[in-house]
Amino acid sequence: MARIIMLIDLDAFYASLEELRRPEIRGKPVIVCVYSGRTEDSGAVATSNYLARELGIRAGMPIAFAKMAAKGKDVVFLPVDKEYYGAVSDRIMDIFGDYAERFQQVSIDEAYLDVSERSGGSYEEAERIAREIKERVREEEGVSCTVGIGPNKFMAKMASKKNKPDGLTVVRPDDVPAFLNGLPVGKLHGIGEKTAEELMGLGIKTAGDLASFSLPSLEERFGKNKAKLLRERALGIDDSPVEQKERQQLSRIATLKEDSSDADEIMKRLSELCADLRKRMEKLGVSFRTVTLITIDAHLKMQTRSETIQEKDDPCAALDNVRALLVGFLKDENHKGIRRVGIAVSNLSYKEKKKEQKTLFDY
Protein backbone atom coordinates (compact mmCIF):
# COMPACT_ATOMS: atom_id res chain seq x y z
CA MET A 1 0.00 0.00 0.00
CA ALA A 2 1.33 3.44 -0.97
CA ARG A 3 2.09 5.82 1.88
CA ILE A 4 -0.12 8.77 2.75
CA ILE A 5 1.41 11.21 5.22
CA MET A 6 0.01 14.31 6.93
CA LEU A 7 1.90 17.23 8.40
CA ILE A 8 -0.27 19.18 10.86
CA ASP A 9 0.89 22.64 11.93
CA LEU A 10 -0.95 24.50 14.70
CA ASP A 11 -1.43 28.06 13.47
CA ALA A 12 0.53 30.76 15.36
CA PHE A 13 0.17 28.43 18.32
CA TYR A 14 1.46 30.50 21.25
CA ALA A 15 -0.29 33.66 20.09
CA SER A 16 -3.51 31.76 19.37
CA LEU A 17 -3.55 30.33 22.89
CA GLU A 18 -2.99 33.78 24.38
CA GLU A 19 -5.92 35.14 22.39
CA LEU A 20 -8.01 32.21 23.59
CA ARG A 21 -7.47 32.97 27.27
CA ARG A 22 -7.43 36.77 26.82
CA PRO A 23 -10.48 37.55 24.63
CA GLU A 24 -9.81 41.29 24.99
CA ILE A 25 -6.70 41.05 22.75
CA ARG A 26 -8.42 39.31 19.83
CA GLY A 27 -8.23 41.32 16.64
CA LYS A 28 -4.93 42.91 17.66
CA PRO A 29 -1.38 42.06 16.61
CA VAL A 30 -0.03 39.72 19.32
CA ILE A 31 3.67 39.03 19.91
CA VAL A 32 4.83 36.35 22.34
CA CYS A 33 8.39 36.94 23.54
CA VAL A 34 11.22 35.20 25.34
CA TYR A 35 12.56 37.90 27.66
CA SER A 36 16.19 37.50 28.75
CA GLY A 37 15.71 39.70 31.82
CA ARG A 38 18.78 41.84 31.20
CA THR A 39 16.71 44.86 30.19
CA GLU A 40 13.03 45.54 29.63
CA ASP A 41 13.35 44.88 25.90
CA SER A 42 16.12 42.28 25.78
CA GLY A 43 15.24 38.93 24.27
CA ALA A 44 13.58 37.70 21.09
CA VAL A 45 10.16 37.09 19.56
CA ALA A 46 9.03 33.48 20.01
CA THR A 47 6.05 33.80 17.69
CA SER A 48 3.51 36.33 16.45
CA ASN A 49 -0.02 36.10 15.15
CA TYR A 50 -0.80 36.83 11.52
CA LEU A 51 -1.77 40.46 12.14
CA ALA A 52 1.66 41.03 13.70
CA ARG A 53 3.35 39.28 10.78
CA GLU A 54 1.73 41.80 8.46
CA LEU A 55 3.81 44.40 10.33
CA GLY A 56 6.95 42.41 9.55
CA ILE A 57 7.27 40.98 13.07
CA ARG A 58 8.37 37.34 13.05
CA ALA A 59 9.95 34.67 15.23
CA GLY A 60 13.58 35.29 16.11
CA MET A 61 13.40 39.07 15.76
CA PRO A 62 14.91 40.99 18.72
CA ILE A 63 12.15 42.40 20.92
CA ALA A 64 13.56 45.92 20.57
CA PHE A 65 13.25 45.70 16.75
CA ALA A 66 9.71 44.32 17.07
CA LYS A 67 8.71 47.25 19.25
CA MET A 68 10.11 49.69 16.69
CA ALA A 69 8.02 47.98 13.99
CA ALA A 70 4.97 48.19 16.26
CA LYS A 71 5.48 51.82 17.28
CA GLY A 72 2.26 53.84 17.15
CA LYS A 73 0.07 50.75 16.73
CA ASP A 74 -2.14 48.88 19.20
CA VAL A 75 0.13 45.84 19.59
CA VAL A 76 0.21 43.36 22.49
CA PHE A 77 3.53 41.99 23.81
CA LEU A 78 3.36 38.98 26.15
CA PRO A 79 5.90 36.64 27.80
CA VAL A 80 5.96 32.94 26.91
CA ASP A 81 4.01 30.55 29.16
CA LYS A 82 5.50 27.20 28.19
CA GLU A 83 3.65 25.20 30.86
CA TYR A 84 0.31 26.37 29.47
CA TYR A 85 1.32 25.84 25.83
CA GLY A 86 2.79 22.43 26.61
CA ALA A 87 -0.34 21.21 28.38
CA VAL A 88 -2.55 22.18 25.43
CA SER A 89 -0.07 20.67 22.98
CA ASP A 90 -0.12 17.36 24.86
CA ARG A 91 -3.90 17.20 24.58
CA ILE A 92 -3.83 17.99 20.87
CA MET A 93 -1.15 15.36 20.25
CA ASP A 94 -3.48 12.88 21.97
CA ILE A 95 -6.12 13.77 19.36
CA PHE A 96 -3.63 13.16 16.54
CA GLY A 97 -2.80 9.77 18.03
CA ASP A 98 -6.43 8.70 17.64
CA TYR A 99 -6.17 8.92 13.84
CA ALA A 100 -2.78 7.55 12.85
CA GLU A 101 -0.96 4.23 12.79
CA ARG A 102 2.10 6.25 13.76
CA PHE A 103 2.64 9.90 14.51
CA GLN A 104 5.83 11.84 15.07
CA GLN A 105 5.75 15.04 17.09
CA VAL A 106 8.51 17.28 15.75
CA SER A 107 7.80 20.35 17.89
CA ILE A 108 5.25 21.69 20.35
CA ASP A 109 3.00 22.72 17.45
CA GLU A 110 3.79 20.32 14.62
CA ALA A 111 3.49 16.58 13.92
CA TYR A 112 3.61 14.04 11.10
CA LEU A 113 0.85 11.41 10.90
CA ASP A 114 1.05 8.21 8.86
CA VAL A 115 -2.54 7.50 7.80
CA SER A 116 -1.75 5.01 5.04
CA GLU A 117 -3.71 2.14 6.60
CA ARG A 118 -6.35 4.28 8.29
CA SER A 119 -7.22 5.86 4.93
CA GLY A 120 -7.03 2.59 3.01
CA GLY A 121 -4.65 4.27 0.59
CA SER A 122 -7.34 6.76 -0.45
CA TYR A 123 -6.46 10.45 -0.64
CA GLU A 124 -10.16 11.28 -0.47
CA GLU A 125 -10.44 9.42 2.84
CA ALA A 126 -7.22 11.04 4.08
CA GLU A 127 -8.73 14.45 3.34
CA ARG A 128 -11.89 13.49 5.25
CA ILE A 129 -9.76 12.41 8.23
CA ALA A 130 -7.85 15.70 8.09
CA ARG A 131 -11.07 17.71 8.17
CA GLU A 132 -12.28 15.70 11.15
CA ILE A 133 -9.01 16.33 12.99
CA LYS A 134 -9.21 20.05 12.24
CA GLU A 135 -12.76 20.20 13.56
CA ARG A 136 -11.90 18.30 16.75
CA VAL A 137 -8.91 20.52 17.48
CA ARG A 138 -11.05 23.61 16.97
CA GLU A 139 -13.96 22.33 19.08
CA GLU A 140 -11.91 20.85 21.92
CA GLU A 141 -9.07 23.36 22.15
CA GLY A 142 -10.27 26.46 20.29
CA VAL A 143 -7.34 26.75 17.87
CA SER A 144 -6.94 26.22 14.14
CA CYS A 145 -4.40 24.12 12.30
CA THR A 146 -3.12 23.75 8.77
CA VAL A 147 -2.76 20.31 7.19
CA GLY A 148 -0.61 19.16 4.29
CA ILE A 149 -1.15 15.70 2.79
CA GLY A 150 1.31 13.99 0.48
CA PRO A 151 3.01 10.70 -0.43
CA ASN A 152 5.88 11.30 2.02
CA LYS A 153 7.00 13.56 4.87
CA PHE A 154 8.73 16.08 2.62
CA MET A 155 5.71 16.57 0.38
CA ALA A 156 3.36 16.74 3.38
CA LYS A 157 5.54 19.53 4.79
CA MET A 158 5.60 21.39 1.48
CA ALA A 159 1.81 21.04 1.14
CA SER A 160 1.32 22.43 4.65
CA LYS A 161 3.02 25.68 3.61
CA LYS A 162 0.58 26.32 0.79
CA ASN A 163 -2.58 27.66 2.46
CA LYS A 164 -1.98 29.14 5.91
CA PRO A 165 -3.68 29.66 8.26
CA ASP A 166 -6.43 27.04 8.71
CA GLY A 167 -5.64 25.45 5.35
CA LEU A 168 -5.77 21.95 3.87
CA THR A 169 -3.70 21.05 0.82
CA VAL A 170 -3.51 17.61 -0.80
CA VAL A 171 -0.68 16.71 -3.17
CA ARG A 172 -1.13 13.31 -4.83
CA PRO A 173 1.90 11.48 -6.30
CA ASP A 174 1.02 12.46 -9.87
CA ASP A 175 0.75 16.12 -8.84
CA VAL A 176 4.23 16.36 -7.29
CA PRO A 177 6.14 17.68 -10.36
CA ALA A 178 3.57 20.39 -11.11
CA PHE A 179 3.48 21.39 -7.43
CA LEU A 180 7.26 21.71 -7.08
CA ASN A 181 8.71 22.71 -10.44
CA GLY A 182 8.00 26.44 -10.34
CA LEU A 183 8.98 26.97 -6.71
CA PRO A 184 12.14 28.97 -5.93
CA VAL A 185 14.83 26.62 -4.62
CA GLY A 186 14.93 28.58 -1.37
CA LYS A 187 11.32 27.58 -0.72
CA LEU A 188 12.14 23.86 -0.65
CA HIS A 189 12.04 22.52 2.90
CA GLY A 190 15.54 21.73 4.13
CA ILE A 191 17.40 24.05 1.75
CA GLY A 192 18.87 26.93 3.70
CA GLU A 193 19.66 30.44 2.60
CA LYS A 194 23.36 29.79 2.00
CA THR A 195 22.71 26.68 -0.13
CA ALA A 196 20.01 28.52 -2.08
CA GLU A 197 22.51 31.29 -2.88
CA GLU A 198 25.05 28.72 -4.11
CA LEU A 199 22.41 27.10 -6.31
CA MET A 200 21.43 30.49 -7.71
CA GLY A 201 25.11 31.03 -8.55
CA LEU A 202 24.90 27.92 -10.71
CA GLY A 203 21.86 29.31 -12.51
CA ILE A 204 19.46 27.07 -10.57
CA LYS A 205 16.49 29.24 -9.66
CA THR A 206 13.59 26.80 -9.32
CA ALA A 207 12.97 23.24 -8.17
CA GLY A 208 12.48 22.33 -11.81
CA ASP A 209 15.93 23.71 -12.63
CA LEU A 210 17.42 21.68 -9.79
CA ALA A 211 15.63 18.48 -10.85
CA SER A 212 17.11 18.68 -14.35
CA PHE A 213 20.59 19.93 -13.40
CA SER A 214 23.57 17.64 -13.99
CA LEU A 215 24.00 15.37 -10.95
CA PRO A 216 27.80 15.06 -11.46
CA SER A 217 28.02 18.88 -11.44
CA LEU A 218 26.01 19.02 -8.20
CA GLU A 219 28.28 16.37 -6.66
CA GLU A 220 31.35 18.34 -7.65
CA ARG A 221 30.01 21.43 -5.91
CA PHE A 222 28.25 19.97 -2.87
CA GLY A 223 29.60 16.45 -2.43
CA LYS A 224 27.85 13.18 -3.27
CA ASN A 225 25.52 12.93 -0.25
CA LYS A 226 24.27 16.51 -0.29
CA ALA A 227 23.88 16.47 -4.07
CA LYS A 228 21.68 13.37 -3.78
CA LEU A 229 19.58 15.05 -1.09
CA LEU A 230 19.17 18.22 -3.16
CA ARG A 231 18.05 16.20 -6.19
CA GLU A 232 15.56 14.24 -4.09
CA ARG A 233 14.13 17.46 -2.66
CA ALA A 234 13.61 18.83 -6.16
CA LEU A 235 11.84 15.63 -7.21
CA GLY A 236 9.75 15.33 -4.03
CA ILE A 237 11.42 12.06 -2.98
CA ASP A 238 11.61 11.16 0.71
CA ASP A 239 11.75 7.62 2.08
CA SER A 240 12.17 8.59 5.75
CA PRO A 241 9.60 6.93 8.04
CA VAL A 242 7.21 8.57 10.47
CA GLU A 243 9.01 7.63 13.68
CA GLN A 244 6.63 7.03 16.55
CA LYS A 245 8.06 8.31 19.81
CA GLU A 246 6.85 7.16 23.19
CA ARG A 247 4.67 9.74 24.90
CA GLN A 248 5.94 10.97 28.24
CA GLN A 249 2.53 12.13 29.45
CA LEU A 250 -1.16 11.65 28.64
CA SER A 251 -3.87 14.03 29.76
CA ARG A 252 -7.51 14.99 29.47
CA ILE A 253 -9.06 18.35 30.41
CA ALA A 254 -12.54 19.86 30.18
CA THR A 255 -14.54 22.96 31.11
CA LEU A 256 -16.95 22.73 34.05
CA LYS A 257 -20.58 23.73 33.51
CA GLU A 258 -19.89 26.68 35.80
CA ASP A 259 -16.96 27.89 37.91
CA SER A 260 -16.87 25.79 41.05
CA SER A 261 -15.08 25.15 44.34
CA ASP A 262 -17.25 22.15 45.17
CA ALA A 263 -15.01 19.06 45.37
CA ASP A 264 -17.89 16.64 44.71
CA GLU A 265 -19.00 18.47 41.56
CA ILE A 266 -15.46 18.75 40.28
CA MET A 267 -14.77 15.06 40.97
CA LYS A 268 -17.78 14.07 38.83
CA ARG A 269 -16.09 15.75 35.86
CA LEU A 270 -12.72 14.24 36.73
CA SER A 271 -14.30 10.77 36.85
CA GLU A 272 -15.60 11.26 33.30
CA LEU A 273 -12.16 12.40 32.16
CA CYS A 274 -10.56 9.36 33.80
CA ALA A 275 -12.83 7.02 31.87
CA ASP A 276 -11.90 8.74 28.62
CA LEU A 277 -8.20 8.67 29.48
CA ARG A 278 -8.42 4.95 30.31
CA LYS A 279 -9.56 4.19 26.75
CA ARG A 280 -6.55 6.03 25.36
CA MET A 281 -4.18 4.21 27.71
CA GLU A 282 -5.64 0.82 26.80
CA LYS A 283 -5.09 1.60 23.14
CA LEU A 284 -1.45 2.52 23.75
CA GLY A 285 -0.86 -0.25 26.27
CA VAL A 286 0.65 1.93 29.00
CA SER A 287 0.75 2.10 32.77
CA PHE A 288 1.74 5.09 34.93
CA ARG A 289 3.31 6.00 38.26
CA THR A 290 2.53 9.72 38.55
CA VAL A 291 -0.93 11.30 38.51
CA THR A 292 -1.43 15.04 38.16
CA LEU A 293 -4.42 17.28 38.87
CA ILE A 294 -4.74 20.21 36.46
CA THR A 295 -6.79 23.28 37.42
CA ILE A 296 -7.51 26.48 35.53
CA ASP A 297 -9.26 29.19 37.51
CA ALA A 298 -11.60 32.01 36.56
CA HIS A 299 -8.59 34.17 35.67
CA LEU A 300 -7.28 31.39 33.36
CA LYS A 301 -4.31 30.68 35.61
CA MET A 302 -3.19 27.07 35.32
CA GLN A 303 -1.87 25.14 38.34
CA THR A 304 -0.90 21.51 38.80
CA ARG A 305 -0.47 19.16 41.73
CA SER A 306 1.10 15.72 41.37
CA GLU A 307 1.63 12.52 43.33
CA THR A 308 3.79 9.51 42.51
CA ILE A 309 2.05 6.24 43.40
CA GLN A 310 2.33 2.51 42.86
CA GLU A 311 2.24 1.63 39.16
CA LYS A 312 -1.28 1.40 37.72
CA ASP A 313 -2.78 0.91 34.28
CA ASP A 314 -6.18 2.46 35.06
CA PRO A 315 -6.34 6.18 35.95
CA CYS A 316 -9.76 5.61 37.52
CA ALA A 317 -7.99 3.54 40.17
CA ALA A 318 -6.16 6.71 41.21
CA LEU A 319 -9.26 8.84 41.75
CA ASP A 320 -8.78 8.78 45.52
CA ASN A 321 -5.33 10.28 45.00
CA VAL A 322 -6.79 12.88 42.66
CA ARG A 323 -9.48 13.77 45.20
CA ALA A 324 -6.84 14.25 47.89
CA LEU A 325 -4.88 16.55 45.56
CA LEU A 326 -8.06 18.50 44.79
CA VAL A 327 -9.12 18.86 48.43
CA GLY A 328 -5.63 20.06 49.33
CA PHE A 329 -5.69 22.55 46.48
CA LEU A 330 -9.11 23.93 47.43
CA LYS A 331 -7.97 24.28 51.03
CA ASP A 332 -4.60 25.93 50.35
CA GLU A 333 -5.27 28.16 47.35
CA ASN A 334 -7.08 31.49 47.46
CA HIS A 335 -9.16 31.44 44.28
CA LYS A 336 -12.62 32.29 42.95
CA GLY A 337 -13.48 28.90 41.58
CA ILE A 338 -12.15 26.42 39.05
CA ARG A 339 -13.22 26.89 35.44
CA ARG A 340 -11.42 23.98 33.76
CA VAL A 341 -10.12 20.81 35.31
CA GLY A 342 -8.01 17.94 34.07
CA ILE A 343 -6.01 14.85 34.89
CA ALA A 344 -2.64 13.79 33.53
CA VAL A 345 -0.58 10.63 33.97
CA SER A 346 3.18 10.40 33.51
CA ASN A 347 6.16 8.18 34.35
CA LEU A 348 4.68 5.91 31.69
CA SER A 349 5.67 2.30 31.01
CA TYR A 350 4.82 0.65 27.69
CA LYS A 351 3.67 -2.96 28.05
CA GLU A 352 5.02 -4.06 24.66
CA LYS A 353 8.43 -2.77 25.62
CA LYS A 354 8.27 -4.74 28.86
CA LYS A 355 7.53 -7.92 26.94
CA GLU A 356 10.63 -7.39 24.84
CA GLN A 357 12.88 -7.06 27.88
CA LYS A 358 14.32 -10.40 28.86
CA THR A 359 15.03 -11.50 32.40
CA LEU A 360 17.75 -13.81 33.68
CA PHE A 361 15.27 -16.69 33.42
CA ASP A 362 15.03 -16.22 29.63
CA TYR A 363 18.64 -17.30 29.10
> Cis ω on the peptide bond leading into residue 315 (within 30° of 0)?
no
Contact 105, 248 (CB under 8 A): no
Q: What is the dihedral of CA 133, 269, 284, 311, to 10 degrees?
A: 160
The residue from 18, 19, 110, 127 that is catalytic is 110
Q: What is the DSSP string of 167-224?
A: -EEE--GGGHHHHHTTSBGGGSTT--HHHHHHHHHTT--BHHHHHHS-HHHHHHHH-H
82-97 and 13-21 are packed helices; what angle lies between their axes, rounded to 10 degrees? 110
Is 110 considered catalytic here?
Answer: yes
Angstrom distances, CA of residue 242 to CA of 90, 116, 216, 281, 333: 18, 11, 31, 21, 44
- Chain length of the chain: 363
Q: Which helix (H) or strand (E) holds 252?
A: strand 249-260
Residues forming beta bridges with residue 105, ordered by sequence position:
111
**CB atoms < 10 A from the CB of 298, how many?**
12
Number of helices (H), then strands (E), belonging to the chain: the values are: 14, 13
Cα–chain center distance at 156: 15
What is the set of active-site residues?
A: 110
